[in-house]
Chain A
Amino acid sequence: MTSANHEPASIWRTRARDFRNEIKPYIRYMAMSGFPSFLSLVLIASAIGYFTLLRDVPADFPIVQVGVIVLTPVLCWSPMRTYLAAADVVYLMPREHEMGPYLRSSFQRTILKSVFLAAVVMLLFLPIYRQAGAGSEMVWIILAALVLKAANAAGGWQERKLAWNSIRLLLRSARWLLTALAVAAWLTAMPWQALLFTVLCAALAWLCYRLPQRHRLPWERLIAEEAVTRRRYYAFFGLFIDVPVLPSSIKRRAYLSWLLPRIPFVHRYTFNYLFSATLFRSEIGGILIRLLLLGALVNYMTADAASLSGWVTAFVYALFGIVFSLQLGGLRSVHRYSVWKHVYPLPEDKQTDQLVQVDRAALSAGLLLLWLPAALPLLLKGISAPPIAMLIGALAYVAIRPMRLRRKVKSDADED
């Protein structure tokens, strides 16, 4: 290897290329799985819904609330792909003074992607905003979005440098809140008022970021963030094909894990206990909770609009239900290679029974929590066919799911 290959910027390029090569085979499997067709179907259906809405925006359409909900996440979200790994604390940290070009590469590449995403969402939102005939000139909103995006990227970097996790989370919440308020201001107030408000928010954020203790370069944070990104890629590809098992990310989630001690202390519930803990605290649980929140919101909004006599809601409900159950299916693979599965004195068919019980309970809870915000607004409007169809579909799936899950567990075991 020449010395140029040891330059940090060159290391970054090599790592980015290696990662692309690493995931290429999984992309192929994903492409063969039918997922792209499913995605195309979703896109077509969404496009039909979008243009129907655009043609005839209801007078009472909550354009500001929708604007805040869709724009805040894409403006605030400032990820950073660094490709750093745990071993870099030994091998790259001594060269911290040369890391500028490496981090610049990371920053440029990642910000481009998040700006692109924000631009797509803006492009979809602004025509509806114009049709709704609300608020400011669009050029001001576009300029404001650019400034907010840049400020959030800078804020995100400052947060990574903070030494204390609790302060970091606090400031991140504050950044999201201030951005949401600024977006609301730009969508409702006069440009000069919104500008004044945004400047005040930025000054407040700048002051907050200066106060706490900071790292020069947040190695551990960047390594942890990179690990989370890789896990998410593999969690996604894991829906289609076996992927390498990466160390899991664990959150305590007291609002769910209070249920754990309520599982009876008896032999036949051993794996109920283990799989419940896994579900509550692992990345799978986190994804399912985010899916439920997003699904509940989207279901409620479509149900409130009652498009196509509520059948759009039924479609969206089915969509979120499918994604939820697919993601929940990942639970069966979490302990697939655990030594304790073989060492604990519990027959494998009983382990499968217990997995099926946890899966069924979680699926039923998830489908019910998605059904309520989809069905109640429709029922209140006197529309009953789609809610009943959704319920029948959900019950039918909950009934056949154990059989399918057992088949998959058996096929996994045969492969092993």
Chain B
Amino acid sequence: MESILKVEQLTGGYSPRRPVLHDLNFELKAGEMVGLIGLNGAGKSTTIKHILGLMNPHQGQIKVAGVTLNESPQQYRSAFAYVPETPVLFDELTVEEHLRLSGMAYNVPGGDYEDQASKLLEQYQMVPKRKAFASHLSKGMKQKVMIMSALLASPPLYIIDEPFLGLDPLGIRSLLDQLVEVKRSGAAILMSSHILSTVEAYCDRYIVMHHGKIAAQGDLDDVRRTAGMDAGNGTLEDAFYKLVAGGVS
């Protein structure tokens, strides 16, 4: 399967003297959803910032759709859409203007844009709010705008940081259904979340981060094995707890 995201020997952080990430190696292939999990401060968001190109690696390299950011910034950036942990919206744009901006930025054809935007607005129960400014939206609604903008772009890679925060139960269901759909259509998804039961149910593989390092990665049995548990026995949460706290659940 085609590799969409490849992180090789990534060491990075805010200061060259104090790296936060240490020698990360992982890969996402087309059509798979990977859960990025870890405690607060484990390095998940810093990893995501490096992938987005907001931070420069101290060592190692990141390739999205086969290129590094320096090789082809446009190709690199066109290949992913990002949903941040805290919704970052433009105060001066309405909900539907955010979708329009996203459509323009990702070069969505005009006809497709109209269809997709209408579908998304309905799916996320945002039709009555389509003319509302960001400052008049609840946190969950803001998150829905972020998710709709990412889905509208239809890129080969989705980078989603804590997508469920503030979402109502219908919003969570819509998002998960849609992630399954985009995965089937061949996109890769890197999703960071603390809701381990959902991550376990929907992701194909997991990357467990602890103190800026990858403590375990692979499918559920791989993670269990690394945590010292038997294959086929115990949940992701059990394995995670053992890996990061050394505890017995």
A positions within 8 Å CB-CB of B: 247-248, 250, 252, 260, 265-267, 269-270, 273-274, 277-278, 280-282, 335, 338-340, 342-347
* B83 shortest CB reach to chain A, Å: 11
A-B contact pairs, 27 of them (CB 8 A): A248-B91, A250-B91, A250-B92, A250-B133, A265-B100, A265-B113, A267-B105, A273-B97, A273-B101, A273-B104, A277-B90, A277-B93, A278-B92, A280-B92, A281-B92, A282-B91, A339-B54, A340-B90, A340-B105, A342-B52, A343-B54, A343-B82, A344-B105, A345-B75, A345-B77, A345-B106, A346-B77
Chain A residues, CB < 8 A from B78 = 345
A162–chain B nearest beta-carbon distance, Å: 20
Closest chain-B Cβ to A383's Cβ sits at a distance in Å of: 42
Smallest CB-CB separation from A268: which chain B residue? Answer: B104
Residues of B within 8 Å of A267, CB to CB, are: 104-105, 107
A332 to chain B, nearest CB (A): 15
Are B135 and A345 closer than 8 Å at their CB atoms? no
Q: What residues of chain B lie closer than 8 Å to A248, measured between beta carbons?
A: 91-92
Residue of B nearest to A280 (CB): B92
B residues at A contact (CB < 8 Å): 52-54, 73-78, 82, 84, 88, 90-93, 97, 100-101, 103-107, 110, 113, 133, 135
Contacts of A342 in B (CB 8 A): 52-54
The answer on a CB contact under 8 Å between B90 and A247 is no
In angstroms, how far is the closest chain B Cβ from the Cβ of A37? 35
Chain B residues within an 8 Å CB radius of A340: 88, 90, 105
Residues of A near B74 (CB, < 8 A) are: 345-347
Q: How far is the CA of A342 from the CA of B77 in the complex (A)?
A: 9
Q: Which residue of A lies closest to B131 (CB)?
A: A252
Q: Are A250's CB and B135's CB within 8 A?
A: yes
Closest to B133 in A: A250
5 closest A-B pairs by CB:
A345-B77, A345-B78, A344-B105, A281-B92, A270-B104
CA A339 to CA B75, docked complex, whole Å: 18
In the complex, A399 Cα to B107 Cα: how many Å? 31
Q: How far is the CB of B145 from chain A (nearest CB, A)?
A: 13
Residues of A within 8 A of B107 (CB): 267, 345
Would B97 and A339 count as touching, CB distance under 8 A?
no
